[in-house]
Structure 1
């Protein structure tokens, strides 16, 4: 399972350049692990189908649609996480251990 998860993550790294830093840093939420595995399996099957002497175009199309659906779901989830200034795991990496723990939202009343 771990091998499939990593394979799916790497394939998505290629397909989703916008999210390469998040995929490289391995800061993706655990809920994406199933999607990584599903993507790896779908991509492997799609390659097998395309390499066949006479590929079943209906199945090729189904696996292409499934792969795109997984890409869209991963994109949606990573967008939601990375654009959240409080829960963005990459901001902890970039800002260091102390600064990353302190979050100030614009618009919050200040006591100063």
Structure 2
């Protein structure tokens, strides 16, 4: 496989994962997820919602996966620092999707 084949493969994987997730979520949950448009906005939502004085609390389920999210953050930081500034998000998340399938 050359790099363009890999890119198409990972793009297809990511689109398939998105479709499955959209079908599994209720309208309110889907709207909330779609409001998080970047890695930075997700980090802000998850890690900065406690102790802000706004009364927001991290849901129990997020607290349980917070250590894993930290590992994912380290992985993405490494990925971002090793690749060119024009990192294609679809390609990146396609790779993440494949890695998650392999580990589960």
Q: TM-score, normalized by length of structure 1?
A: 0.28
Greater relative contact order (CA < 8 Å, ≥ 6 in sequence): 2
Name the TM-score, length of structure 2 as normaliser. 0.29
